[in-house]
C-alpha cells in the first residue's frame, strides 16, 4: 500500500526542488541596482503622486472577468466531448445532448445579458 504513494512523493519532492531552485536562481541572477524610481510604490500603473480620490474606469477588469467566466464555463464542455461517444453507445446520447444544449443555452443567456448591459462595450 505504501509503495503506491511513492510516485506521488517523488513528484512532490521534484516539484519542491524545482520551486526552491528557481527561487534561488532568481535571487542570485536577478540582482537589480536600486534606484529612486524602482523603490516608489506601484499601483495600477498610475502615478503615485496623483490625486488620492481619482476615478478609475473598471471596463478593462469587467471584460477580463467576463472572459474568465465564459472561458471556465466553456472548459466544462471538454469532459462531455470526451465521454459523448461512450454515452451514445450506452443509450444516453440524447440525454447528454439535451444537457449540453441546456448548458449552452444558459451560457448564451448570460452572454446576451452581458451584451444588453453594455459590459462588452469598450468606450
Pick out the chain residues at pLDDT < 70: 1, 37-54, 56, 122-123
Report the pLDDT value the prediction gives residue 45, as an integer from 0 to 100: 57
Q: For the residues of the chain, what is the DSSP string, one character each?
A: -GGGGHHHHHHHHHHHHHHHHHHHHHHHH------TTTTS--BTTB-TTS-TT-----HHHHHHHHHHHHHHHHHTHHHHHHHHHHHHHTT-HHHHHHHHHHHHHHHHHHHHHHHHHTTT---
Q: Which pTM does this prediction carry? A: 0.46
Q: What is the mean pLDDT of the chain?
A: 80
Lookup result for grid cell 459590459: 119
Report the pLDDT value the prediction gives residue 47, as an integer from 0 to 100: 58
Amino acid at each position: 500500500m505504501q509503495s503506491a504513494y511513492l510516485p506521488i512523493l517523488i513528484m512532490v519532492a521534484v516539484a519542491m526542488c524545482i520551486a526552491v531552485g528557481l527561487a534561488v536562481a532568481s535571487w542570485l541572477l536577478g540582482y537589480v541596482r536600486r534606484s529612486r524610481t524602482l523603490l516608489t510604490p506601484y499601483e495600477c500603473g498610475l502615478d503615485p503622486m496623483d490625486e488620492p480620490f481619482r476615478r478609475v474606469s473598471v471596463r478593462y477588469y469587467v471584460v477580463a472577468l467576463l472572459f474568465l467566466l465564459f472561458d471556465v464555463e466553456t472548459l466544462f464542455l471538454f469532459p462531455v466531448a470526451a465521454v459523448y461517444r461512450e454515452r451514445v453507445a450506452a443509450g444516453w446520447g440524447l440525454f447528454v445532448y439535451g444537457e449540453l444544449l441546456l448548458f449552452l443555452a444558459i451560457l448564451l443567456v448570460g452572454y446576451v445579458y452581458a451584451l444588453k448591459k453594455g459590459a462588452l462595450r469598450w468606450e
